[in-house]
Amino acid sequence: MSATRVTGYLPPDEDFARSARFHNSFLIAPDEALEFAQKNTDEKGLPLIAVSPAEGKLLHLLVRTLGAKRILEIGTLGGYSTIWMARALPEGGEVVTLELSEHHVQVARENVVKAGLGNVVKIIQGPAVESLTKLQPGDAPFDFVFIDADKDNNLTYLLEAKRLTRKGAVIIVDNTVRDGQVADLSKTDGPNEGVRKLLAHLKNDSELSATTISTIGERHWDGFTYILKL
């Protein structure tokens, strides 16, 4: 992966990348549909900020472990993480994924259809904040939520995810470490402040329990926050 298309982070470290490739060679089999999604996403000019193969596999395993049937994804990009999660669903399961960019939606649809998941994945195009307000938990709340969109709105996305999920649901918020910048209060940009607002809310929300896990992978030092709705 080229560092030139990833902004705000340190260049990839070859030691990290070599380690990731080594582990993946044992644990993640070659996959034509996922490789197509990566290649098509790159060729269509989307930013190279999708989850790594190892992170995609983790999402897949979490969905299977939870027995999740309905998944909400905020931030589709090219649908790479969408495919990983959709493949873990039982019969009759569904992924609802929200994406701002019309171009990204077009590419994601191509990738999802190539993976044979066109009837499993529903992509909603438009500002995620607006799309979320139109969703209702009804009789089938979501079991699993993956938040990987603009970080400035992390707290809004979390509160909507909480509203739309059942008790016992898991919410994953990606990119919450950001090379340690979140802990550096001199970094006052929108994404870092967005993560801090998320953390401040989690500290006092008695209906949610959470922890942040740092990750060092193919690209940089980052992490995700794992949240359980009590």
* pLDDT score for 37: 98
Looking at the 3D structure of the chain, how many domains does it have? 1
Domain CATH code at residue 67: 3.40.50.150
Query: Is 129 among the domain residues?
Result: yes
pTM, entire model: 0.93
Query: Is 1 among the domain residues?
Result: no
* pLDDT score for 219: 73
Query: Is 6 among the domain residues?
Result: no
Q: Which residues contact 73 (CB under 8 A, 6 or more apart)?
A: 81, 82, 85, 95, 96, 97, 98, 145, 146, 148
Instruction: Assign 99 a pLDDT band (cuts: 50, 70, 90).
Output: very high
Say whether pLDDT at 5 is over 70.
no
Segments of 103-174 assigned E as strands: 121-125, 142-147, 165-174
* Lowest mean per-residue pLDDT among 98-107, 152-161, 187-196, 211-220: 211-220
Torsion of CA 94, 98, 99, 102, to 10 degrees: 70
pLDDT tens for residues 66-98? 999 999 999 999 999 999 999 999 999 999 999
Contacts 24+ apart (CB under 8 A), 121-126: 121/79, 121/82, 121/86, 121/94, 121/95, 121/97, 122/94, 122/95, 122/96, 122/97, 123/76, 123/79, 123/97, 123/98, 123/99, 124/96, 124/97, 124/98, 124/99, 125/99, 125/100, 125/101, 126/98, 126/100
Query: Is 207 among the domain residues?
Result: yes
Among candidates 46, 19, 31, 80, which has minimal Cα distance to 219? 19
Backbone dihedral angles phi then psi of residue 88, each to the nearest 5 degrees? -90, -5
* pLDDT score for 93: 98
Instruction: Assign 218 a pLDDT band (cuts: 50, 70, 90).
Output: confident
* pLDDT score for 11: 53
Query: Is 4 among the domain residues?
Result: no
Say whether pLDDT at 8 is over 80.
no
* Cα 168 from Cα 223, distance rounded (Å): 22
pLDDT tens for residues 13-51? 788 888 999 999 999 999 999 999 999 999 999 999 999
Domain range for 71 is: 11-229
Instruction: Assign 2 a pLDDT band (cuts: 50, 70, 90).
Output: very low
Query: Is 219 among the domain residues?
Result: yes
Query: Is 61 among the domain residues?
Result: yes
Q: Pick the residue with more confidence: 53 or 220?
A: 53
Query: Is 3 among the domain residues?
Result: no
Helix (H, G, I), strand (E, B) or coil at 19: helix
* pLDDT score for 52: 95
* pLDDT score for 220: 82
Say whether pLDDT at 4 is over 90.
no
Instruction: Assign 187 a pLDDT band (cuts: 50, 70, 90).
Output: very high
Token pair for residue 101? Answer: 């960019």
pLDDT tens for residues 125-169? 999 999 999 998 877 899 999 999 999 999 999 999 999 999 999
Say whether pLDDT at 6 is over 70.
no
